[in-house]
Structure 1
Amino acid sequence: MTSKVSLLPQDIGSLSRTAPAARPGTLFVLGANGGMSVAPDADFPLMFGRNLPDVHVCVGAADRRVSRRQGLITREASRWVLRNTGKLPIRLPGSRLVLGGNTVELSPGYTPLFIVSTRQEHLLEVRVTASAPRGGGSPASCGADTFDGDAHELSRDERLVLTCLGQRYLRADPHPQPLTWGQVAFEVGELRADERWTAKRAAHIVTLVRHRLSKEYGVAGLLEEEIPPPVGNALNHNLINNLLVTTTLTRADLHQLDQADPRTLDQ
Structure 2
Amino acid sequence: MNHESLARGVPHTVPGAIVALSLSGKVTLRPEEGRTILFGRNRPEVDVCVGETDLQVSRTQGTLTRRDGHWWVSNTGRLPIRLPRTRLLFRDEDPVPLPEGYTPLFIRGSRDREHLLEMYVVGWHGGQPAAQHDAKTQHPKQWRLTDDEHLALVVLGQRYLLHEANPQPISRQHAAQILAELEPDTNWSAKRVEHVVADVRARLSARGVYGLVREEVGEPVGNALNDNLLRELVLSTTLVPTDLALLDRLSY
Q: Which residue of 1 aligns with 2:159?
A: 228
2:34, 2:67 within 8 Å by CA — same for their partners in 1? no
**What do you get for the CA RMSD once the two structures are aligned?**
3.6
What is the aligned counterpart of 1:109 among 101, 104, 115?
101
SS in 2 for 1:63: coil
1:227, 1:234 within 8 Å by CA — same for their partners in 2? no
Q: CA deviation at 1:12?
A: 6.8
How many angstroms apart in 1 are the aligned matches of 2:69 and 2:76? 21
Q: Which residue of 2 aligns with 1:82?
A: 73
Q: How big is each residue's C-alpha offset from its partner over 1:75-127, in whole Å with a ceiling of 9 and x where there is no partner?
A: 00111011101110000010001100121111111000001235222110000
Unaligned stretches of 5+ residues in structure 1: 1-10, 133-137, 143-147, 150-215, 220-224, 236-240, 246-267
Comparing 12-21 with 123-132, which one deviates more in the overlay? 12-21
Q: Which residue of 1 aligns with 2:118?
A: 125
State the structure with more CA Rg.
2
Q: CA deviation at 1:13?
A: 1.2
How many angstroms apart in 2 are the aligned matches of 1:122 and 1:93? 14
Q: Which residue of 2 aligns with 1:24?
A: 15
Q: CA deviation at 1:228?
A: 1.8
1:46 matches 2:37: yes
SS in 2 for 1:16: helix
How many angstroms apart in 1 are the aligned matches of 2:66 and 2:23? 24
Q: Residues 34 and 227 from structure 1, CA distance in 2 versus in 1: closer, same or farther, beyond 3 angstroms? A: farther
Q: How big is each residue's C-alpha offset from its partner over 1:213-260, in whole Å with a ceiling of 9 and x where there is no partner?
A: xxx8689xxxxx97428744359xxxxx99xx9xxxxxxxxxxxxxxx
How many angstroms apart in 1 are the aligned matches of 2:60 and 2:99? 22
Q: Which residue of 1 aligns with 2:128?
A: 140
How many angstroms apart in 2 are the aligned matches of 1:21 and 1:82? 23
Q: CA deviation at 1:29?
A: 0.1
Letter in 1 for 2:165: N
TM-score by length of 2: 0.51
How many angstroms apart in 1 are the aligned matches of 2:140 and 2:123? 25
Q: Which residue of 2 aligns with 1:33?
A: 24
Q: How big is each residue's C-alpha offset from its partner over 1:159-203, in whole Å with a ceiling of 9 and x where there is no partner?
A: xxxxxxxxxxxxxxxxxxxxxxxxxxxxxxxxxxxxxxxxxxxxx
How many angstroms apart in 2 are the aligned matches of 1:18 and 1:12? 14
SS in 1 for 2:128: helix
How many angstroms apart in 1 are the aligned matches of 2:47 and 2:4? 18
Q: How big is each residue's C-alpha offset from its partner over 1:133-157, in whole Å with a ceiling of 9 and x where there is no partner?
A: xxxxx65348xxxxx99xxxxxxxx
TM-score by length of 1: 0.49
Q: CA deviation at 1:18?
A: 3.3
Letter in 2 for 1:131: W
Q: 1:157-176 alignment to 2 at 5 Å?
A: none
Unaligned stretches of 5+ residues in structure 2: 133-138, 143-154, 168-230, 236-252
How many angstroms apart in 1 are the aligned matches of 2:3 and 2:14? 19
Q: How big is each residue's C-alpha offset from its partner over 1:27-80, in whole Å with a ceiling of 9 and x where there is no partner?
A: 000000221000002753100000100101010111100000000101001110
Comparing 71-80 with 225-234, which one deviates more in the overlay? 225-234
Q: Residues 82 and 218 from structure 1, CA distance in 2 versus in 1: closer, same or farther, beyond 3 angstroms? A: closer
Q: CA deviation at 1:17?
A: 0.7
Letter in 2 for 1:233: A
SS in 1 for 2:84: coil
